[in-house]
Structure 1
């Protein structure tokens, strides 16, 4: 009855993995159920669309269009007006540093990791509009565990069928018994695909609904509409060639040959 031990192991692996995935999905769904509808600010829309770095990009673009920050084509940021009008602008100015000049890449990274942006994310999570970091990693980890469990069940079934030990159970019935935990794991993956798939990396379904309503109102030509497009779509929404060129350097590493922004 060696195959029975393998079957019990298959059920244990499958049951544990499916339970963890279900608990992670329930936790994420509970956060969405507590969502409170409200009008998104530009910073909130940026966070839900692209996370902390999108918030930094939006702030840089906004300040550049107000001529309070100069973003050079060479990838440098220069402070023109050192007075921040809100917490995010003060965060960007702090990331640039007291010298008033810095490359955009470290400014972007520093602002994205600042307390102000983390606080914004925490408030969105509390409102049920953003996916908690634990839920994002928990669901992804749960799906991987169920996938691994499916592979393990198949492997255990093959071992049971190929085992030389004599068994009174016909082989096709042994295979049928192992098909049960496999069906459970595959069903769990299918349900997760349907129920969990609507979650983006940052926005919960409630947050995505608000973003969808916000996106439908980006057809105007005023400044807020422009910044809303940047918040939702990122740097791809920037129309000015010089500004786009400045952000083309935002992911590049320092190579020891930095160009002075005034060149």
Structure 2
């Protein structure tokens, strides 16, 4: 009768995961009601970037915005060069500070440092307080609940296979054992189906109210000016929305631990606008 213990364990996995998903949905609905006042506000591009892709997206948007204004040069080899050291807001000053006093650095560490800067943390706190964003690392969100239910479904399936493959007599037909395990599996799958129709998409960063504001921004994007529409598409869709191949290639590079390779890729005339600009156009 060892399969009974496995069945109880399967029910524990399924019941706990589904219950936590339901509680997360209830909490999200309560936060959504508290965010009514925030729905009437227009999102800034930084806010849209955070709700769409988190701190890293905010850093990417800042880099692209400064590059479009020719105040920062982004080479296709993955290097950023400061042209105008005067940041116009806290985000830009964070990026310039992350590049460092030499005025040139690889884009990957700049993006990572800018994403953890105080300016981004302050933006996140404001959005969370307004009910438009979910706390970073909060395991009670709907997205986290859905992940737990998926893991529970896999666990139930694994436990059922283990029970069916147990050697020796079990005292019960294997078809009936499979039927018993089908019940907790059906519970997890039905929860996933309901969540798919009721609370999808599962955003890691935006609350339901924040997702609606993002949807409104996307619908009205065509009414913006060309430059604002361009930056809004980067904020919502990320660097894949960048039209220029060289500029998009600049974000495709990652940190390389080998120093001689980094030195080979580094522009030879660091900080020279004419040379670096050829790759940042």
Q: Distance in 2 between matches of 1:221 and 1:138?
A: 37
The equivalent residue for 2:33 is 33
The equivalent residue for 1:243 is 247
Q: Indicate if the aligned counterparts of 1:10 and 1:156 stay in contact, CA closer than 8 A.
A: no
Q: Indicate if the aligned counterparts of 1:149 and 1:185 stay in contact, CA closer than 8 A.
A: no
Q: Indicate if the aligned counterparts of 1:21 and 1:139 stay in contact, CA closer than 8 A.
A: yes
Q: Provide closer, same or farther for how the CA distance between residues 183 and 247 of structure 1 changes in structure 2, counting only shifts above 3 A.
A: closer
Q: Distance in 1 between matches of 2:58 and 2:142?
A: 20
Q: Indicate if the aligned counterparts of 1:130 and 1:202 stay in contact, CA closer than 8 A.
A: yes
Select between 208-217 and 90-99 the one with higher mean Cα deviation: 208-217
Q: Indicate if the aligned counterparts of 1:43 and 1:231 stay in contact, CA closer than 8 A.
A: yes
Q: Provide closer, same or farther for how the CA distance between residues 213 and 155 of structure 1 changes in structure 2, counting only shifts above 3 A.
A: same
TM-score, length-scaled by structure 1 = 0.80
The equivalent residue for 2:238 is 234
Q: Distance in 2 between matches of 1:177 and 1:225?
A: 55
The equivalent residue for 2:113 is 110
Equivalences for residues 55-134 of structure 1 within 5 A: 55-132=58-135, 133-134=137-138
- Determine which of 118, 125, 145 is the counterpart of 1:139: 145
The equivalent residue for 1:186 is 189
The reply to whether residue 164 of structure 1 matches residue 169 of structure 2 is yes
Q: Provide closer, same or farther for how the CA distance between residues 260 and 177 of structure 1 changes in structure 2, counting only shifts above 3 A.
A: closer
The reply to whether residue 195 of structure 1 matches residue 198 of structure 2 is yes
Q: Distance in 2 between matches of 1:18 and 1:41?
A: 36
Q: After superposition, what is the alpha-carbon deviation per residue over 1:22-78, rounded to whole angstroms, capped at 9, x for unaligned?
A: 223333333333322121001011112222121111111211222222223332212
Per-residue deviation, 1:108: 1.0
CA-atom RMSD in angstroms: 3.1
Q: Provide closer, same or farther for how the CA distance between residues 26 and 204 of structure 1 changes in structure 2, counting only shifts above 3 A.
A: same
Structure 2: segments with no counterpart, 5+ residues: 270-274, 276-281
TM-score, length-scaled by structure 2 = 0.76
Q: Distance in 2 between matches of 1:73 and 1:6?
A: 55
Q: Distance in 2 between matches of 1:178 and 1:75?
A: 52
